[in-house]
Amino acid sequence: MKTEINDMIKKLPVLFLCVTLTFCAKPKEREKQKENLDLQYIEAAEKWTEALPIGNGSLGAMIYGGVAQEHIQFNEETLWRGQPHDYAHEGAGKYLGGIRELLTEGKQLEAQKLAQDHFMSDPIKQIHYQPFGDIYIDFKDHDNFKNYKRELNLNNAVGSVSYTVNDVDYKREVFSSFPDQVIAIHLTASKAKALNFDLWLDAIHEDKSVMTTNDSQTLVVKVKDGVLRGVSTLKIITDGNIENTEGKLQITEASKATVYLTAATNYIDFEDVSGNPEKIVPETLAKVSNTDYEAVKSKHIADYQTLFNRFEISFGDNGKSANPTNQRIYDFWKDPNDPQLVALYVEYARYLTIASSRPGTKPATLQGIWNDQLTPPWFSSYTTNINLEMNYWPVEMYNLSECHEPLFDLIEDLSITGAKVAKAHYNADGWIAHHNVDIWRGAAPVNASHHGIWLGGAGWLSTHIWEHYLFTQDKGFLKERYPLIREAALFYSQYLYKDPQTGYLISSPSNSPEIGGLVAGPTMDHQIIRALFDITIEAAAILGEDTDFAAELKTLIPQIAPNQIGKHGQLQEWLEDKDDPEVHHRHVSHLWGVHPWNEINYEDTPEFMEAAKQSLRFRGDNGTGWSLAWKINFWSRFKDGDHAYELLHKLLSPAEKPDGKVGGGSYSNLFDAHPPFQIDGNFGGASGILEMLIQSQLGKIELLPALPQALPQGSISGVCARGGFELDFTWEDSRLTGVKVLSKAGGKCILVYGDKQMELETEKGGTYSFDGTLQSL
Ligand code: FUC
């Protein structure tokens, strides 16, 4: 008895501590549920899109996981072709009036020609993001192996490869550390001195050199047609012997070895290339090279988990999560009944955000930070007529708000280069960006006039600043970045053109991305400009600034060409009623007002909602990866979760099907396939899944607005809503069972579930719990 009491007493403080911790736990301290969050394979990667990505925002790598030879292809985000350059075309503005007149007269081809000859970026093309280098590790006599496993663990952002040769277990771990700015590779063998390998660096650049010392190698690359050079050094620490043999580090009789690699370029910003990678690289390595591997790993995991562990999502696990990821993608195509894969897709997008977009880094490109080609698809740059923004759709919702910052820094750069373009091309103040941007922050219209002259860039990007404010309620942030919004609005206020035919203010010349050529007055632009004017007015009022300018914008809004319903019952894509229901183009730009924006919604404009749905039906259910992803978001806003899930089914199906068909879907490493690989679909798809579960665009938080039948049970926690709220909620049998709201900023919170609505005044830091009928607990 005494012992039992003693035991109880011993346990008491522990129990008490647990209770206290649970009660006090802020969402960021939440322990991550141990759901299987591994991407896992029983074979090495053969293709790049089978390799597994790691990244710390700037330093990324793709791990192939070969047995006889490991190949780790790596990138550093500032290695691009080209040089500081002002792409504005001096004198272009002289032709603006002529282009507009030709469009008004219906002479589209002449307008496009005039624009092509005199109005385009100088030069007409932007430039490419570059791969950096390759790490190779050759293992002797490892051809006969068993128990092979290759994994990427999303819980700690560590990739690993393990297998057995002659009863010796070999293991590699690879990660990219944000705190230490290195890629770390750790190799072990279960038997002493069994580790023997050659290690070296290489690159596919023509201009490259490799220098080897006792325990390190340095790769220097120079880009073609440009001023940037990259320096990368790896250093090995091992209990075995190291020899420099024919330019390779030969390691023999080791039990363990750690390789640290870092890389840098001379890029400082879009105007300055005076950086000194020869100094940065050894300094970075010196800080880490005497540190024990386990310490570097722990620091990496702790840093990563401060971001990753804020959020959890689960739809249950029907046992398929034990299967290799490539098999799961294939099985999902046959039968989309693997709810855990849907949760994994969201968590993977969060992983990719953290890996490609950390404060202080550049935003995620079309491929994040991962690229192995000297001439990658679409330059692996920033396409702003959908792709760049899509990369950031889920970032606030899935609780990675600070990872949004690189986008705001890019907007800051564009406000400088885009101001020159505004002057040179439109004789206007403020700033503008067209459909493509590169690391030199080119903002002028590129490629061809029929799609390059698209005027939505500055407006759409600026809405991200407002969204960040809505989610965080951070007025300091709004004050700091508000000038970007105001200067974009200033541009449009001067650029809008009174259509001689309709009398409306229209956007001309422009384009409905990337369909129908150069036109006067595409619907999307007007939606974007209205949204921008609205948020400028609201932000100015919050900050107590720019009263006169806000009043001017208020008078402009009703003059802008409105949304219109056409003869097929569709939302018109253009000023004229000329939509062709047979055209199944991947872009669905005129539905911008449904998602990501909200001027078209069931409450205020149900008839436009129906028309938009009609347009989406005409466009059909096929598309490139990002197009499928956008359609998931649309169908969620249309509150048709089952239709949204049909699109998700396509997005989560193999990009390369066994029947030889290649289409929008997922590669075996779960990278989105346009095809080719584009990361936007990963982020857009995750956003679409979240939009099925929670929407907050109309000043209310709607729970399970578009829950598909395929996801009847689940839980989500740490998901964010506009107004500064963070929510945890659960559902069973397709019905809400409970919800908890954390109010980060105080103020009114309106919760909606089905036909129930609940309104409460919250206090900053307060938490509020409800049952499935929204009754307070
Ligand atoms: C736009 C899209 C293409 C592709 C490219 C990067 O031009 O129309 O589908 O995603 O961006």
- DSSP track, 505-560: EE--SEEETTEEEEES--HHHHHHHHHHHHHHHHHHHHHT--HHHHHHHHHHGGGB
The pTM (predicted TM-score) of the whole model is: 0.95
Ramachandran assignment for 280, one of left (phi > 0), alpha (psi -120 to 50 degrees), beta (any other):
alpha
Task: Please write the tens of the pLDDT for every residue from 673-702.
Answer: 999 999 999 999 999 999 999 999 999 999
**Closest C-alpha to 142, from 170, 114, 122:** 170
Query: Residue 737's pLDDT band (boundaries 50, 70, 90)?
Result: very high
Contact at 8 Å (CB) between 41 and 150? Answer: yes
Ligand 1 proximity of 674 Cβ (cutoff 6 Å)? yes
Quote the DSSP letter at residue 736.
Answer: E
Which ligand 1 atom is the nearest neighbour of the CA of 451?
7
Indicate if the pLDDT at residue 111 is higher than 80. Answer: yes
Task: Please write the tens of the pLDDT for every residue from 259-273.
Answer: 999 999 999 999 999
pLDDT at residue number 29? 43
Query: Residue 10's pLDDT band (boundaries 50, 70, 90)?
Result: very low
Query: Residue 16's pLDDT band (boundaries 50, 70, 90)?
Result: very low
pLDDT at residue number 15? 31
Contact at 8 Å (CB) between 142 and 170? Answer: yes
Token output for 765: 């830091």
Ligand 1 proximity of 378 Cβ (cutoff 6 Å)? yes
Task: Please write the tens of the pLDDT for every residue from 502-534.
Answer: 999 999 999 999 999 999 999 999 999 999 999
Indicate if the pLDDT at residue 315 is higher than 80. Answer: yes
Indicate if the pLDDT at residue 3 is higher than 60. Answer: no
pLDDT at residue number 32? 55
Token output for 318: 């029907």
Indicate if the pLDDT at residue 9 is higher than 70. Answer: no
By most ligand atoms within 8 Å of CB, the mutation choice from 678, 680, 682, 683 for ligand 1 is: 678
- What number of CA atoms fall less than 13 Å from residue 636's CA on the CB side? 31
pLDDT at residue number 7? 42
Contact at 8 Å (CB) between 352 and 398? Answer: no
Ligand 1 proximity of 383 Cβ (cutoff 6 Å)? yes
Q: CA–CA separation, 606 vs 30, rounded Å? A: 40
Which ligand 1 atom is the nearest neighbour of the CA of 626?
10
Q: Helical H runs in 290-396?
A: 293-308, 325-334, 339-356, 387-391
Q: How far is the CA of 681 from the centre of ligand 1 (A)?
A: 11
> Residue 620 burial by CB count (10 A; 0-12/13-18/19+): exposed, middle or buried?
middle
**Closest C-alpha to 668, from 39, 30, 18:** 39
pLDDT at residue number 33? 54
Query: Residue 370's pLDDT band (boundaries 50, 70, 90)?
Result: very high
Strand ordering across the sheet containing 735-743:
312-314, 714-721, 725-732, 735-743, 767-771
Instruction: Provide DSSP, 179-199.
Output: TTTEEEEEEEESSTT-EEEEE
pLDDT at residue number 34? 63
Per-residue buried b or exposed e for 693-731, using 16+ beta carbons within 10 Å of the residue's own CB: bbbbbeebbbbbbbbbebbeebbbbbbbbbbbbbbbbbb
The three-class DSSP label of residue 136 is strand
Task: Please write the tens of the pLDDT for every residue from 536-560.
Answer: 999 999 999 999 999 999 999 999 9
Q: How far is the CA of 678 from the centre of ligand 1 (A)?
A: 9
Contact at 8 Å (CB) between 691 and 636? Answer: yes
Work out whether strand 747-753 and strand 701-703 pair parallel, antiparallel, or are unpaired. parallel
Ligand 1 proximity of 585 Cβ (cutoff 6 Å)? no
Q: How far is the CA of 679 from the centre of ligand 1 (A)?
A: 12
Token output for 204: 């596919």
Q: CA–CA separation, 407 vs 398, rounded Å? A: 16
Average predicted confidence (pLDDT) for the chain: 95
Q: Please report which helix (H) or strand (E) contains residue 453, including its range.
A: none
Task: Please write the tens of the pLDDT for every residue from 605-664.
Answer: 999 999 999 999 999 999 999 999 999 999 999 999 999 999 999 999 999 888 888 889
Q: Helical H runs in 580-672?
A: 606-619, 625-637, 641-651
pLDDT at residue number 17? 29
Ligand 1 proximity of 586 Cβ (cutoff 6 Å)? yes
Q: Report the 10 Å Cβ neighbour count for 621.
A: 16
pLDDT at residue number 661? 81
pLDDT at residue number 90? 97
Task: Please write the tens of the pLDDT for every residue from 47-84.
Answer: 999 999 999 999 999 999 999 999 999 999 999 999 99
Q: How far is the CA of 585 from the centre of ligand 1 (A)?
A: 11
In this prediction, what percent of the chain has a pLDDT beyond 90?
94
Q: CA–CA separation, 378 vs 279, rounded Å? A: 33
Task: Please write the tens of the pLDDT for every residue from 153-211.
Answer: 999 999 999 999 999 999 999 999 999 999 999 999 999 999 999 999 999 999 999 99
Q: How far is the CA of 296 from the centre of ligand 1 (A)?
A: 39
**Closest C-alpha to 135, from 65, 228, 238:** 65
| Location of structure tokens 């590699």 | 172
pLDDT at residue number 35? 79
Q: What does the pLDDT average to over 214-218?
A: 97
Q: How far is the CA of 586 from the centre of ligand 1 (A)?
A: 9
Which ligand 1 atom is the nearest neighbour of the CA of 513?
8
Ligand 1 proximity of 404 Cβ (cutoff 6 Å)? no
Ligand 1 proximity of 446 Cβ (cutoff 6 Å)? no
Indicate if the pLDDT at residue 2 is higher than 80. Answer: no
Task: Please write the tens of the pLDDT for every residue from 609-618.
Answer: 999 999 999 9
- Residue having the nearest C-alpha atom to atom 1 of ligand 1: 383
Quote the DSSP letter at residue 222.
Answer: E
